[in-house]
């Protein structure tokens, strides 16, 4: 017979094992989702970004919001520098919207494939063409948040590097 102390220890150990299994499964699922999203282009490495890299990312994503704590720097900037920040921010917002639409389209396609798989047994080719048709339009604004679609800074960085909004040597900047 086990004492109360031993029972508590066993229960906590079992809970910790379940938690660690769950964490490893979610980590694996996250990597799998990213691989499915970007394919073989993705070579995922986890980086701690330095100050300069984080500033470049924030400038693209938030525009002048990147200077929220550094208003004195913003006041010292020339008009040309502020215009460059605005132009880069607008381009980044368009690319973020495009990426969100692509991800939402893939999610919807996988959903429709599972639901309507049995409804078109004789027309697999035409239904496949329907689901794989690119329905992404750059003018349409996607209202979902990045986190809802599973898009993180790492995804944005890779996408911005493809679009030449960030330099190709972004990970080597110090």
Is residue 68 scored above 60 in pLDDT? Answer: yes
Nearest one of 33, 91, 30, 27 to 59, comparing CA atoms: 91
Range with the lowest mean pLDDT among 20-34, 60-74, 103-117, 127-141?
A: 20-34
Task: Give CA separation, 51 vs 41, 81, 165, 173, 174, in Å.
Answer: 26, 19, 18, 10, 8
Task: Give CA separation, 9 vs 4, 12, 93, in Å.
Answer: 9, 5, 51
Residues 6+ apart with CB under 8 A from 112: 131
> Over the chain, what is the mean pLDDT?
76
In this prediction, residues 142-161 reach a mean pLDDT of 82
pLDDT digits (tens, 9 = 90+) for 71-100: 888 889 899 999 999 999 999 999 888 888
Residue 102 is predicted with a pLDDT of: 84
Distance CA 166, CA 52 (A): 12
Residue 128 is predicted with a pLDDT of: 59
The whole model's pTM is what? Answer: 0.61
Judge contact between 42 and 35, C-beta under 8 A: yes
Judge contact between 167 and 57, C-beta under 8 A: no
Residues 6+ apart with CB under 8 A from 159: 95, 96, 99
Residue 46 is predicted with a pLDDT of: 47
């Amino acid at each position: 017979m086990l004492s109360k102390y031993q029972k508590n220890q066993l229960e906590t150990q079992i809970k910790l094992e379940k938690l660690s299994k769950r964490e490893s499964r979610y980590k694996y699922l996250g990597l799998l989702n990213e691989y499915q999203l970007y394919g073989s282009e993705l070579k995922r490495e986890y980086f701690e970004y330095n100050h300069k890299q984080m500033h470049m990312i924030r400038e693209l994503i938030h525009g002048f919001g990147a200077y929220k704590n550094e208003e004195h720097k913003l006041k010292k900037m020339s008009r040309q520098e502020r215009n460059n920040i605005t132009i880069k921010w607008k381009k980044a917002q368009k690319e973020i919207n495009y990426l969100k639409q692509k991800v939402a389209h893939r999610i919807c396609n996988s959903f429709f494939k599972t639901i309507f798989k049995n409804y078109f047994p004789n027309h697999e080719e035409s239904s496949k063409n329907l689901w794989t048709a690119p329905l992404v339009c750059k003018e349409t604004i996607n209202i979902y948040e990045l986190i809802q679609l599973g898009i993180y800074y790492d995804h944005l960085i890779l996408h911005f590097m493809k679009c030449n909004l960030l330099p190709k040597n972004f990970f080597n900047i110090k």
